[in-house]
Structure 1
Amino acid sequence: MRRFPLLSVLLLLTLALIQTPAQAAADPIEDLGTPLTSLTIMTGAVGREADGSDVVYAVPAGENARLNIVDLHSRQLKRSIPLPGASGSWAVTVASDGRVYVGSYANARLYRYDPATTQVTDLGSPIPGEQYVYGLSAGENGVIFGGTYPNTHAFKFDPATGQTTDYGTIAGTEKYTRATAYDPVQKVLFAGLLSPKARLIRIDTTTGEKREITPAGLTGSGFSDMNYVDGKIFAQVDNQIYVIDAVTGELVSFEDPSGATVQRYPIIARGVSPASNGAVYFTATAYAITRYDLATNTLSTVMSGGQPVSLGRGAAIGYGWITEDGGPKLYGLAGNYAAGTFRFDPASSALEVWTSPFEYVPAPLENVLADPTTGKVYVNAFLNGSTVVYDPATGGSTATTKLGQTEGWAWGPNGKIYVGTYPNGQLSEWDPTTGTNRVLFALEATHHQNRPVAVLPSGGKLFVGTTPGYGLYGGALTFYDLATGQLDVHRDIVTDQTIASLLPLDGKIWAGSSTDAGQGADPRATEARLFLFDPATQQKTAEYTPVPGARSINELTIGHDGRIWGLADGTVFVFDPATRKVVRKLTVFTAPASAQDGALLWRDGYLYGTSAGRLFVVDSLAGKAKVLRTSGLLRLDATPDGRMYTLLRVAGETELSHLGRFTPPADKCPNSDLRATVWRHGVDSRVPNRFVRDGCTLADLIRG
């Protein structure tokens, strides 16, 4: 066989950049459309239209979300009004003048609906630069108050002047002003903060003075809802309800349904109802309707026929009183995902629950997983947690088990899928054949881990890498024995960092970290680490920095050369586990990444990947990379036919609500072992004789 001098080989490698099989058209991603529609409602409010009809207002989350208005008596959708640019809402309230305000995400705008005109006005961002508006509450004269993320502002909007008063950043390390409640007697706004610690801030709306009044005995990571009722603040912190005296700022002791005197009680609801006949209501454990008597400070579970009255369909997420048949009836929404709506009569304890016709919309997507046997593709929704199976043969999608918001998942050798879900840091074993879903363990309550971003079944064990909870530092590496159920959790292996990627090798675990802390906390660490952990000794035995300054090592894989190939932000590196050295580094692009933002897949000796919205390919022979798409992508997984599936954001949209497919070009010389081996040994004049075979010439190999 002809020998090629080194100069000629280098020239051919240069040509490979032009003629690589990975070269693509203008857009290499095929848009497969929106595989999943869902209904996700975070909150709602009861109000009245100009024609006198009683309605509920809510915003189903989705691309370019819409305000839905449903008649509570005819149970029909009256109207659906676009909220341009919004993806959903955690804050809907009816002001004292009857107009409805919506605080949106992730554009953090304020929208106002006027029942008299049936029009929505985009009032802009009350605090420029924020991402979420939270905790809207009503004041006098149509004024409304709210909070923001990520810079912990509180604000007032006055419709008379059209002006916003910014009370400024009201905390140091906290990120969320998650809830507000207005006291019309003292002219005071109470702001509840979330992450990393629950703090209560008192704001004098006349002078603007701010001071912390977090009562002793109130502990937790953060507020989620607050209501002011008759001199009391009902505050929800970590699924516990506290009652605070609005004047003294002290916790109010109350009697729970068992007769015990307590200062907190479990709550599963979006706050408490407005007051009626001296009481407020909320849903507690098992969605049981629970009454708080304002005069006696006693809690009681509403009973009927000797049994607790339960909404059944989910937590109460919005309330309002309507007078009917001579008395007040409590109407509201039951649950985030099923359009449950209820009517409760406190006089008789009668309850009716039905489904309202809210609009199902294309769901923002969270994760994708290809079936290695059938070639079908599993797609999971963000927030909603619904899952569908996409069939490439038919182009159709079929709904399946609701798994929850899936941060990481993987197929096991037993044909089951191991699923890690937020917010409880839960791991479950799902059998897609039977539909059974068995919970294995959860890490949030016991180890303060809430996002299982790396999930890997191997050798009879389940290995999991997680992020810490809100405002916290120190992710964990967890081992779970699938046969015995033994659980070993190792937190903060890399100080203040998340465990973002996992790779089993020779009975040990290589792992990559991310500087990410818990959501709402700024990173303390400055660069990601690669480390080796020995399950036998339960010890970290080595640690390295393969790419100095990289924020996250978000994927690890084994190359055909037996070495570890990793993705650190936009850099692909090759680490030799024998010599413990980085032997290659290739910068594909320069951009930071998070713990969940990266994938690597081999095909025909080419390494394909996604990170920071990009699709790229590395030619392991030439040692060169090419970015194939510059934005709009997340995740990557391949079916047995080699086609790759990703989550796609299309032009003009802000959410990843489409399924995308990439078909790698065929390789004329598909000898993947040879291609990777050539780069390992370097390109020189010995390459053709030693490695080119099976009828492939070096030119074929380089050009593909």
Structure 2
Amino acid sequence: MSLGKHHRLWVRFICTIVCVLMIVSMSGNREAHAAGITMTLPNASFEEVGTGIPNWNIHPTFGTDTATVSDVRAYTGAKSMKMVDTGSVISLARVSEKISISPTEQVAYTATAYAYIEQGSIDVYLIFYNGTTETRATPASVTPTLNQWNKRSITAEAPVGATEVAVMIYSGLGSITTAYIDDVSVGKTVKNSGFETTPLSDTWTVSGAATSTTVKTGGTSSLKLDDASSVAASYAESTDVPVSSNARVSAAAKVYVSSGDTGISMHLRFKNAAGTVIKEVENVFSGTTSQWIPLTISATTPNVTGAKTVSVYFTTKTTATTVAYVDDVTLDTPIEYNLGTQIVNNPLDGAVFGKDASGSYDLMYVGSSGYPSKFVVYDARTGELLDDQNLDQIEAVWGMTVASDQSVYLGTANKRALYRYVPGTVSISGGIKIITGSSLVKTTLDSGLNVIWDVSAGSSGNIYGGTATDGKAFRYNPTSGVTVLNSNLAIVDGLAHVRSIAYASDTEVFMGMGPTSNATIIRFDPTTSAQSTISPSGYGSTYVLGLDYIPNGSDSKLFAKLSSEPLIVINPTTGVVDASLGNVDSIGVSKKHPTDDKVYYTKGTHLYVYDISAKTQTDLGDVGGKAAGYTFLTDAGTTYLYAPLSSGKILKYKLAATPTIDISTSFTIPDSPTKIRSLVKGPGDHIYTSGYLRGGLSVYHPDAGLLTRNRGAGQAENMTTIGNNLYLGIYPGAWIKKYDTNSSWNDTTNPSLLFQDIAASPNFQDRPFGMLADTALNRLYVGTVASSGKLSGSFTVYDLTTSTRITTVPDIVEDQSIISLAYKNNKVYGGSSVYGGIGSTANPSVTEGKVFTWQTTSSNTLPVPQYVPVSGRKVISDLIVGPDGNIWGLAEGNSSTDPSRNLTADLFIFDPNNPDAAHTTIYANKFTSTGNVSWQGGKMVVGKDGNVYVSIGGKLYAVDASSATKDAVMLVSTGVSLLTADANGDLYYVKYETNLYKYDK
């Protein structure tokens, strides 16, 4: 039974002794930067196990109440430290291992921890040691925010003579606390970062600069740069902080320009042991005057002998007068955080029924897509869960069947994996039903049999399967193994998918094919390889998504689910269509009624019956969900139709003169992680992710560290934002939806459907990878990949003010998909891919991806201007407006002209006023790449520091936009895909398919 019929192809301490504190800051803002130039702190994330909490100790003075390693919650990883302070007259503390520090270094130290506080309060302290003498730096009091992860930070200078430092996590005397602590860090940073200590000259080298109490963001003062003339610049430089070579370093500050030119800039100065600057990078302030604006910068320490320190330097221009203020300077090492699985689903992809090994219990088997997918076993009559198996690295279960020996077979979406489950025996232990003695074994099919679309049970323990991408079918027997039925050629030339399969007899197997212009079913004899074709005309279906063979003597039938929507009933002997049943959304149809010529299925939430003899259907009533499988069971002499429903209920329909509908029995499918398909920064500066195959939209809130999960909406290939609305491009069918984030989520009405981006036949569209919002004109621009078997993508302009489609241009780049879009100066620039929809064959004469130009405020003449930006590249995977105002692009795909470039990708930049080859600069082989790119490839964002960050080929890069050669530094070396950034400039990307990661800059 094919389960994919409707799926288409595809995160007060009261101190009793005097504490010497020179500089202290405390932050409840989760987005404060990391703990300086980070030093190694053992077991900082509490992932190590052992006696007590490894590398964390009690303090001899303060409370020793309960602290344990917990796996209840974690900021990253799997564990955290749980602290339970049970009394209001006692305290609780845990102290990290001591770290050696140098008394001669002119630095301050920052400690950071993430705290999830359920009640009470948690603070972070720095303890400095000079032999047995300790000095504690006390944080400022902060009112905790409960039930979310918050960042706690403290910065202090070491007292004279200190040789060691440690971090203490503390719950004070007056606090009854329950809290979780994770990701503790400590590092070196600049002295007097908040300009609170005087004289300023002890910690900063200045000219034309002084502390000011007039304008500040916190504390009592800030740094004032007063360039009274346009002759000499005003500047301030921090002390030098030690840094290792080839390390990524970031700095941030808040800047307020009150008058004059806005040309203040922040620099990172890397120096050798002699104090000579060997590398300097800058970021120029470009924000609004008379308000505090964050300014950031990132760079990599030169990988050369002698690179020892870095300083932060602020300066004004020598050619203009400026009065500006600087505050809250940070210097740190970017840290990569795993924010965890963002999307989970538990879809009912399909179900079949069988018996346990004793034959005493009726079992219901469910396949559920995810990563990993799940195979779940229930008592069919009660819905009790008996077995829950993960299918490692499997994305979906497309086909399920129960063989004649009661084994269950699963055809899966990837890894060429066929699973066989042999059920054990159900028994009752301690009043609970259990199943023991079961086995689950995977067989890997040969290359070319990549996707197992469907499986169907035959005789003698045999099962038959249909596959992609070579259009082959196979027979499997647990004794003899796999036999490819058409080993030499595809069953029908050009049809790459045996999309559905139905066993009739050992000499007659039916196969639903695709892609094709009209529904095609092959009648195949496995014993002789003889075949004939059934081609019902007039439906225009690309695929036959599902087949059910219903034996009924001389009046046997084929029920074929077509991709164009109807379920048709066919006489397999004559090929004549008896009926066309619209809106059938159940997964397959039931077997024939035990005594009548009737089969059952659902439409929406209603159960229907089809009378084979009369060729008519009847609505039997609302059952509350769509069916995903069927069986007939007898209770006390009465036969019932059983079916699991999408509502999580098991339908028990009484087959009698007076039928009854019973949906009182529930079953629950365990959640499973879902792959992330698209990633954007959306309304509210939140990070939005959409799921692959089963959809779902999750929202990560950077300021609160919270995750909101919404189910439904479908698989968004890409998303874009205007105001409070998030626009989603949904596959299949290129549905364009609007999610109003100011209103509550409702998969039926919010997101709401704007339009379906389908051009006239034969250019049906499926995948909206190009999604671009134009805030000036309040428009959406959508670029799409065509549906299965088709080549020609389209470009659509939609007016959000009038809710009308202005135009759709099919095939705007001949025989290519439109997958990337960028906007600058009343023009949209589109990037294309030579690859069309699934199963299509690229036009041999189309070998290179192109860039086209679309005028937004004037008329366009077709064909629109277009050119090849990089010779030999097949895919223009991303386009953005770079920090220089030019259009930046990524060119990928196996090179048709130079195979040595297949595992690289190019950066190209062109002048938006002159989009042509003559005005395009190519930085060849700038990045490594998988080479195997069709639609979704590299992504770019412009950082707040003026760098361009690139996710491509599983890696994350920083590109120095100011360098003539656009120097690229690899930040993360493996597993990276997609990319976006929040308002603070921190980066977000996907790793390991399901997890959202943050690169805290």
What TM bracket, shorter-length normalisation? 0.7 to 0.9
CA, structure 1 residues 334+154, in 2 after alignment: closer, same or farther (shift >3 Å)? Answer: same
Q: Deviation of residue 346 (structure 1)?
A: 3.4
| Residues 147 and 154 in structure 1, CA contact (< 8 A), matched pair in contact too | yes
Q: Which residue of 2 aligns with 1:657?
A: 994
CA distance in 1, matches of 2:986, 2:386: 44
Q: Deviation of residue 88 (structure 1)?
A: 2.7
CA, structure 1 residues 356+34, in 2 after alignment: closer, same or farther (shift >3 Å)? Answer: same
Instruction: Note the residue ranges of structure 1 that are not aligned, 5 or more in a row.
Output: 2-7, 255-262, 303-308, 650-655, 665-704
Q: Which residue of 2 aligns with 1:645?
A: 988
Q: Which residue of 2 aligns with 1:585?
A: 923
| Residues 40 and 383 in structure 1, CA contact (< 8 A), matched pair in contact too | no
CA distance in 2, matches of 1:284, 1:422: 23
CA, structure 1 residues 27+560, in 2 after alignment: closer, same or farther (shift >3 Å)? Answer: closer
| Residues 584 and 604 in structure 2, CA contact (< 8 A), matched pair in contact too | no
Q: Secondary structure at the match of 2:381?
A: coil
Q: Which residue of 2 aligns with 1:376?
A: 686
CA, structure 1 residues 247+401, in 2 after alignment: closer, same or farther (shift >3 Å)? Answer: closer
**Of 199, 206, 226, which aligns to 2:520?**
199
Q: Does 1:317 align with 2:628?
A: yes
Q: Deviations over 1:386-432 (max 9, x none)?
A: 222223344332223632211111110x3211111111211121111
Alignment of 1:88-237 (within 5 A): 88-116=396-424, 118-168=437-487, 169-184=490-505, 187-197=507-517, 198-230=519-551, 231-237=556-562
| Residues 279 and 302 in structure 2, CA contact (< 8 A), matched pair in contact too | no
Q: Does 1:440 align with 2:754?
A: yes
Q: Deviation of residue 360 (structure 1)?
A: 0.9
Corresponding letter in the other structure for 2:713? L
Q: Which residue of 1 aligns with 2:640?
A: 329
CA, structure 1 residues 402+85, in 2 after alignment: closer, same or farther (shift >3 Å)? Answer: closer
Q: Which residue of 2 aligns with 1:269?
A: 586
CA, structure 1 residues 15+633, in 2 after alignment: closer, same or farther (shift >3 Å)? Answer: closer
Corresponding letter in the other structure for 1:104? T
Corresponding letter in the other structure for 1:106? N
CA distance in 2, matches of 1:201, 1:638: 51
CA distance in 2, matches of 1:9, 1:27: 22
| Residues 565 and 574 in structure 1, CA contact (< 8 A), matched pair in contact too | yes
CA, structure 1 residues 339+648, in 2 after alignment: closer, same or farther (shift >3 Å)? Answer: farther
| Residues 196 and 520 in structure 1, CA contact (< 8 A), matched pair in contact too | no
| Residues 269 and 282 in structure 1, CA contact (< 8 A), matched pair in contact too | no
Corresponding letter in the other structure for 1:237? L
| Residues 877 and 891 in structure 2, CA contact (< 8 A), matched pair in contact too | yes
Corresponding letter in the other structure for 1:83? L
Q: Does 1:605 align with 2:946?
A: yes
CA, structure 1 residues 644+590, in 2 after alignment: closer, same or farther (shift >3 Å)? Answer: closer
Q: Does 1:468 align with 2:777?
A: no
Corresponding letter in the other structure for 1:131? N
Q: Which residue of 2 aligns with 1:682?
A: none
CA, structure 1 residues 320+527, in 2 after alignment: closer, same or farther (shift >3 Å)? Answer: same
Q: Deviations over 1:326-381 (max 9, x none)?
A: 2321212223xx544322223244223354122111222222222464x4322222
Q: Which residue of 2 aligns with 1:561?
A: 884
Corresponding letter in the other structure for 1:495? E
Q: Deviation of residue 582 (structure 1)?
A: 0.3
**Of 936, 955, 958, which aligns to 1:614?**
955
Q: Deviation of residue 213 (structure 1)?
A: 2.9
CA distance in 1, matches of 2:404, 2:479: 13
CA distance in 2, matches of 1:457, 1:135: 40
Q: Which residue of 2 aligns with 1:531?
A: 852
Q: Deviations over 1:580-620 (max 9, x none)?
A: 31034242235333322221111122110112322222112
Q: Deviation of residue 86 (structure 1)?
A: 2.8
Q: Which residue of 2 aligns with 1:45?
A: 352
CA distance in 1, matches of 2:559, 2:279: 73
Q: Deviation of residue 211 (structure 1)?
A: 3.5
CA, structure 1 residues 332+559, in 2 after alignment: closer, same or farther (shift >3 Å)? Answer: same
CA, structure 1 residues 505+105, in 2 after alignment: closer, same or farther (shift >3 Å)? Answer: same
Overall identity of the aligned pairs, in %: 27
CA distance in 2, matches of 1:26, 1:200: 61
Instruction: Note the residue ranges of structure 2 that are not aligned, 5 or more in a row.
Output: 1-231, 233-275, 282-298, 311-331, 426-436, 745-749, 893-904
| Residues 600 and 607 in structure 2, CA contact (< 8 A), matched pair in contact too | yes
CA, structure 1 residues 625+287, in 2 after alignment: closer, same or farther (shift >3 Å)? Answer: same
Corresponding letter in the other structure for 1:453? F
Q: Deviation of residue 266 (structure 1)?
A: 3.4
CA distance in 2, matches of 1:266, 1:400: 26
| Residues 193 and 200 in structure 1, CA contact (< 8 A), matched pair in contact too | yes
Q: TM-score normalized by structure 2?
A: 0.60
Alignment of 1:670-685 (within 5 A): none
**Of 621, 631, 640, which aligns to 2:974?**
631
Q: Deviation of residue 18 (structure 1)?
A: 3.2
Q: TM-score normalized by structure 1?
A: 0.83
Runs of 4+ in 1 over 6 A off after TM superposition: 8-17, 25-28
CA distance in 2, matches of 1:15, 1:499: 36
Alignment of 1:490-569 (within 5 A): 490-524=809-843, 525-535=846-856, 536-539=858-861, 540-569=863-892
Q: Which residue of 2 aligns with 1:301?
A: 619
| Residues 47 and 56 in structure 1, CA contact (< 8 A), matched pair in contact too | yes
The alignment of Structure 1 onto Structure 2 pairs a total of residues equal to: 629
Q: Deviation of residue 93 (structure 1)?
A: 0.7
**What is the aligned-residue RMSD (CA, Å)?**
2.8
Q: Secondary structure at the match of 1:271?
A: coil
Q: Does 1:357 align with 2:673?
A: no
| Residues 109 and 122 in structure 1, CA contact (< 8 A), matched pair in contact too | no
CA distance in 2, matches of 1:417, 1:161: 54
Q: Which residue of 2 aligns with 1:78?
A: 386
CA distance in 2, matches of 1:114, 1:445: 48
| Residues 126 and 155 in structure 1, CA contact (< 8 A), matched pair in contact too | no
Q: Which moved more, 1:625-634 or 1:529-538?
A: 625-634
Corresponding letter in the other structure for 2:439? V
CA, structure 1 residues 217+491, in 2 after alignment: closer, same or farther (shift >3 Å)? Answer: closer
Q: Does 1:424 align with 2:767?
A: no
| Residues 451 and 467 in structure 1, CA contact (< 8 A), matched pair in contact too | yes
| Residues 576 and 583 in structure 1, CA contact (< 8 A), matched pair in contact too | no
Corresponding letter in the other structure for 1:440? L
Q: Deviation of residue 638 (structure 1)?
A: 0.7
CA, structure 1 residues 203+630, in 2 after alignment: closer, same or farther (shift >3 Å)? Answer: farther
| Residues 628 and 644 in structure 2, CA contact (< 8 A), matched pair in contact too | yes
Corresponding letter in the other structure for 1:265? G
Corresponding letter in the other structure for 2:942? W
Corresponding letter in the other structure for 1:547? V
CA, structure 1 residues 635+279, in 2 after alignment: closer, same or farther (shift >3 Å)? Answer: farther
| Residues 590 and 601 in structure 2, CA contact (< 8 A), matched pair in contact too | no
Higher relative contact order (CA 8 A, sep 6+): 1
Q: Secondary structure at the match of 2:577?
A: coil
Q: Deviations over 1:509-558 (max 9, x none)?
A: 11111112011223223111001122432434311111112121121111
Corresponding letter in the other structure for 1:223? V
Q: Deviation of residue 454 (structure 1)?
A: 1.5
CA, structure 1 residues 167+484, in 2 after alignment: closer, same or farther (shift >3 Å)? Answer: same
Higher radius of gyration, 1 or 2: 2
Q: Which residue of 2 aligns with 1:54?
A: 362
CA, structure 1 residues 27+157, in 2 after alignment: closer, same or farther (shift >3 Å)? Answer: farther
